[in-house]
């Protein structure tokens, strides 16, 4: 990662350049701040812009363009940041549980991160609403987090499952992968009518207070200590203003439902 991107990334997260060795406390702070500062969003899919899994481009999208992305982009960029800070990071492939946990999605459905310190940690800023802080990868007991109770359990064939509040979230392989390995999964999610990412634009992030703000199509949803509030935005101008105000995203047109042509 280029020096200016490292400095810009840390500034975006509001984190000072660390002076000591990488540790678990800084990792937790980086994940919390990333979830609040960088939105989970699929807007490029609905703007007709193909997404390429090239590390420099993923980082530039976050740092220079002040955008977010879906799992491959967010965890790809976050993993690059962690490596630039001296962390030992591996990309892991996962399949998301669907149908209430009855089945899993396609191979390379999701990308998550394994960070090795004195102990291994599962870090993830690309699953939408998920644990605010990394989870101990080697612990099989329940792990309490501000977003609920999580548990990592051994799955079939050497895989590892992540459960949140009692329900299965995703199933990971433990073999380290390269960014390019996720190309087919990213293509499928950008183009397939079966992918939930092609069904409509969504942009969401955690708020500093621990709530969440989401813009799904024309619906703006706020959740927090005072409950859930939903508002239908009246026109394109209001939608573009909401992207600017709540996510720092400046667009010249409203994303529609036309997926890009990805070759």
Sheet holding 212-216, edge to edge: 40-41, 202-206, 212-216, 219-224, 227-232
Look up 203 and say whether it is catalytic: no
Q: Evaluate whether 74 touches 40 at the Cβ level (below 8 Å).
A: yes
The answer to whether 124 is a known catalytic residue is yes
Helix (H, G, I), strand (E, B) or coil at 116: strand
Q: Where are the beta strands (DSSP E) in 55-185?
A: 88-98, 103-104, 110-116, 120-123, 135-136, 143-145, 148-154, 160-164, 167-172
- Of 44, 109, 124, 161, which is the active-site residue? 124
Selecting among 34, 110, 163, 189, the annotated active-site residue is 110
Of the listed 34, 71, 109, 203, which one is catalytic?
Answer: 71
Sign, CA dihedral 98-162-171-140, equals negative
Q: Is 23 left (phi over 0), alpha (psi -120 to 50) or beta?
A: beta
Which residues are annotated as catalytic? 71, 110, 124
């Amino acid at each position: 990662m280029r020096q200016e991107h490292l400095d810009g990334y840390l500034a975006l997260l509001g984190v000072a350049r660390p002076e000591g060795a990488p540790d678990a406390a800084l990792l937790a702070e980086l994940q919390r701040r990333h979830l609040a500062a960088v939105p989970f969003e699929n807007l490029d899919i609905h703007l007709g812009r193909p997404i390429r899994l090239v590390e420099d481009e993923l980082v530039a999208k976050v740092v220079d363009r002040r955008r977010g992305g879906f799992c491959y982009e967010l965890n790809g960029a976050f993993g690059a940041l962690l490596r630039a800070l001296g962390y030992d990071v591996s990309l892991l492939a996962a399949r998301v549980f669907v149908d209430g946990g009855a089945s899993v999605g396609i191979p390379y459905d999701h990308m998550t991160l394994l960070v090795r310190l004195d102990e291994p940690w599962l870090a993830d800023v690309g699953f939408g609403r998920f644990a605010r802080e990394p989870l101990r990868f080697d612990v099989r007991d329940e792990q309490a987090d501000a977003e609920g109770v999580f548990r990592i359990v051994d799955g079939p064939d050497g895989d590892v499952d992540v459960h949140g509040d009692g329900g299965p979230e995703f199933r990971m392989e433990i073999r380290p992968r390269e960014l390019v390995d996720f190309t087919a999964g990213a293509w499928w999610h950008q183009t397939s009518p079966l992918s939930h990412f092609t069904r409509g634009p969504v942009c969401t992030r955690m708020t500093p207070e621990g709530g969440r703000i989401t813009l799904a199509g024309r619906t703006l949803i706020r959740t927090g200590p005072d409950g859930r509030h939903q508002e239908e935005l009246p026109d394109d101008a209001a939608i573009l203003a909401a992207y600017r105000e709540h996510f720092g995203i400046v667009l010249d047109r409203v994303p529609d439902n036309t997926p890009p042509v990805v070759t």
